[in-house]
A and B are shown apart, each in its own frame.
Chain A
Amino acid sequence: MVAHAEFRALGTGARVLTTHESALDAAVTVVQRELERIDQACSRFREDSELSQLNRRSGSWVTVSLLLMTAIDEAVRVFRMTNGAVDPTMGRAIRILGYDRDFTDLRDEGPINLILQPSGGAGVIEIHRVAHQVRVRGGHELDLGATAKALAADLCARAAFEACQVGTLVSLGGDIAIAGPAPEGGWSILIAEDHAASLDAPGEVIALRSGAIATSTTTLRRWRQGGAVRHHILDPATGAPAREHWRTASVVAASCVDANAAATAAIVWGEAASGWLQAHRLPARLVALDGSVIRIAGWPAGTAVAL
């Protein structure tokens, strides 16, 4: 029987499901331990995190943990995979745009002089794998937000499965990773714009047996700055919030990192994203600004509607 637990982590809602109720507590313990390690390594909002220390010493070689090095490696891979649409060097840009603290603490602070900060691209990141050292050149700062949460879901699901040997699903703010055998019929997942939506809210439901799913949207994490409305998905080509063509993109991939990267890139690329998703056989559901929906690469059509 599927069992679940909920708690807060990484500034968002976390949900852990196991196929066996008896394994839930052990799985949650493993997941929470992993999440604490990841938060300590990758958080942009913790002064004492490794990432904050790296950003403070921009331009210098800094010794980092294997976990942060892995997270930066994944961010660089995603940068190349998405042709730069998901860029880890946007830390300074998003801070300048006013998103410089946990989202719940943001408020309008009046008029500002907007300075667009172009991205540095993965080329400004140097990694010395033997010495476990990283250097970010050109005054850029790293923001691993786009990939670290998804990487956390992948790592947590795998760690919980390896520790408990039961099917495990981990959701971190709607980024979902699956490890081990799924329950009969698959894990039943409601697709919504907000991961905090009620399970009985109306919407499409899909069933996943393996892999991962992530959803990106411009409808949440919007804030006002100097009277202008901002959202948190930046286009590295301009340094500004991406032009809105799709308001929400959900993508299924083998890993949550890839699903999240593809979903975020789809928002940034707009209309051009559908061909790329199709070419890479990534099942996706894209919602346009007017609410119309397109389904790509085998995303199940006419799926059940939640009660």
Chain B
Amino acid sequence: MIDGVPEEARVRADARDAGLNLVDNWTVALAVGAIALTGVLGLAAADTFRGHNTAQSQPPSSQTDPGVNANGGFAPQAPPDSSFGSGGQQPAVVSGGS
């Protein structure tokens, strides 16, 4: 007997505490594992089943155009001012879709 507690009861209490600690550790580990697994599955699903954008393409904004023109040379080249002729003749060729 130690401090008035029977030896047998103290051993049982220690065993109970050890068991509770083990359950506590397992609970924390399972919670962390579940969160991690949820994240991994979420990333995998996002990569596998991609949604799609429903917003259509837009032309470059007028603010970015001048920079693009000056730096990248990506602006389309307009025809010379004298491109258009007098017209009115029988057509020689058709511009249309194909």
Contacts and interface: CB of A to CB of B under 8 A. Distances in A.
A171 B92 CA distance: 11
B60 to A, nearest CB: 4
A83 B58 contact: yes
B98 A236 contact: no
Interface of A: 2, 4, 12-13, 15, 17, 77, 80-85, 116, 118, 149, 169, 171-176, 182, 185-197, 199-201, 205-217, 219-221, 235-240, 242-243, 248, 250, 252-255, 258, 261-262, 265, 268-270, 272-273, 275-276, 279-283, 297-298, 300, 303-304, 306-307
Nearest to B59: A276
Contacts of A212: 79
B87 A188 contact: yes
Q: How would you classify the secondary structure of chain B's contact residues: helix, strand, loop or mixed?
A: loop
Given A268-B57, A269-B59, A258 B97 contact: no
Interface in B27-58: 50, 52-58
Given A205-B89, A237-B56, A279-B62, A196 B96 contact: yes
B11 interface: no
B20 interface: no
Contacts of A214: 95
A205 B87 contact: yes
B95 A189 contact: yes
B59 A186 contact: no
B94 interface: yes
6 contacts: A118-B52, A118-B53, A172-B98, A195-B94, A196-B94, A199-B91
B88 to A, nearest CB: 4
A211 B79 contact: yes
Nearest to A303: B87
A174 B74 contact: no
A186 B78 contact: no
Contact of A194 (B84, B90, B97): B97
Interface size class of B (residues with CB under 8 A): 35 or more
A15 B93 contact: yes
B65 interface: yes
A186 B92 contact: no
B4 interface: no
A208 to B, nearest CB: 6
A237 B53 contact: yes
A212 B83 CA distance: 9
A239 B50 CA distance: 12
A-B residue pairs, 3 tightest by C-beta: A186-B85, A173-B98, A217-B97
B53 A171 contact: no
